Amino acid sequence: VFDLVDRPFDMATLVAAVGDLGSGALVTFVGYVRERSDDGRPVTGLHYEAHRELALVELRAVGDDARARFAISRIAIVHRIGELALGEIAVGIAVTAPHRAAAFDACEFAINELKARVPIWKQERYVDGGVRWRENA
Amino acid sequence: VTVRVVCYARIRELVGADAIERTLPVGATVGDCFDDLTREVAGLAELGASTRFVRGTAFVDRATELHDGDELGLLPPFGGG
């Protein structure tokens, strides 16, 4: 499963999607909306948007690269777009592998690659009414 | 050649539109199109080094030649995750 969704989703969907009896390890990563920005401004929520077609191509490519580099079985990546409230999941990744090391490594690789190469943009919305686009380093 | 330039996120706000049409000389590249736009859009030049480009569903670089009817997306730095 590689998807962009405009409604809240639940990690159980991703966990089910990567289920594999040849695997003994399942690692998940969840990125969710924090109540403060990196510089401490109180946040009311986030707005995400994407170039949908290219983002889906790139999400699949991240998954393909993860499978090529690490001894994993299956990987799923879902990113939310639209308006997110505090605590809502922005990105979920699930990876299964025969052994845990590859699953942890692939999960970290996938979130790093997603941040660098998938065309998704984030705007923080602040309690004081301001907004700011936030870019990955 | 006439192309449709589609603007995302921060660039959309600078340009003030989701998409605009641009007509350029035959042989014009992605870089020519972008540079042309920076002369009219305040603040866009500063994003030049970090902007990426998409045509269809593939990244393209500044040297890519544009064709009539192309849709060129201007992608500011990403913020996913």
Which pLDDT tens digit goes with each residue over A77-104? 999 999 999 999 999 999 999 999 999 9
Determine whether the interchain pair B8/A136 forms a contact, defined as Cβ–Cβ distance below 8 Å. no
- B80 CB near a chain A CB, below 8 Å? yes
Summary mean pLDDT of chain A: 97
At residue A44 the predicted structure's pLDDT band, cuts being 50, 70 and 90, is very high
Q: What is the mean pLDDT of residues A56-70?
A: 98
| Min Cα separation A20/chain B (Å) | 26
Quote the pTM value: 0.95
Q: Which two tokens stand for residue A137?
A: 């380093």
Cβ burial of A128 (10 Å; 0-12, 13-18, 19+) is exposed
Q: In this predicted model, what pLDDT tens digit does every residue of B43-77 receive, in sequence order?
A: 999 998 999 999 999 999 999 999 999 999 999 99
Taking contacts as CB-CB distances below 8 angstroms, the residues of chain B near A32 are none
A136 touches chain B (CB under 8 A): yes
Sequence letter at residue A112: N
Q: Do A31 and B58 touch (CB under 8 A)?
A: no
Q: Could you tell me if B60 and B70 are in contact, meaning their C-beta atoms sit under 8 angstroms apart?
A: no
Interchain CB contact of B73 with A (< 8 Å)? yes
Contacts of A121 in chain B (CB under 8 A): 8-10, 76, 78-80
Task: Indicate yes or no: CB of B78 within 8 angstroms of CB of A116.
Answer: yes
Structure tokens at A107: 């999960």
Q: How confident is the model at residue A10 (pLDDT cuts 50, 70, 90)?
A: very high
What pLDDT does residue A137 have?
Answer: 80
Confidence of residue A136 (pLDDT cuts 50, 70, 90): very high
Tell me the pLDDT tens digit for each residue of B27-47: 999 999 999 999 999 999 999
A-chain residue closest to B53, CA distance: A119
When pLDDT is averaged across residues B2-6 and rounded to a whole number, the result is: 98
Nearest-CB residue to B57 (from A48, A54, A121):
A54
**Is residue A13 very low, low, confident or very high in pLDDT (cuts 50, 70, 90)?**
very high
For residue B19, the chain A residues in CB contact (below 8 A) are none
Mean pLDDT calculated for residue range A39-65: 97
Residues A44 and A26: their CA atoms lie apart, in Å, by 32
Q: Quick check: ipTM above 0.95? A: no
How do beta strands A120-126 and A74-80 pair? Answer: unpaired
Contact list in B for residue A53 (CB cut-off 8 A) is: 56-57
pLDDT of B64: 98
Q: Which residues contact B49 (CB under 8 A, 6 or more apart)?
A: none
CA distances from B43 to A2, A64, A86, A98, B31 (A): 35, 37, 31, 50, 17
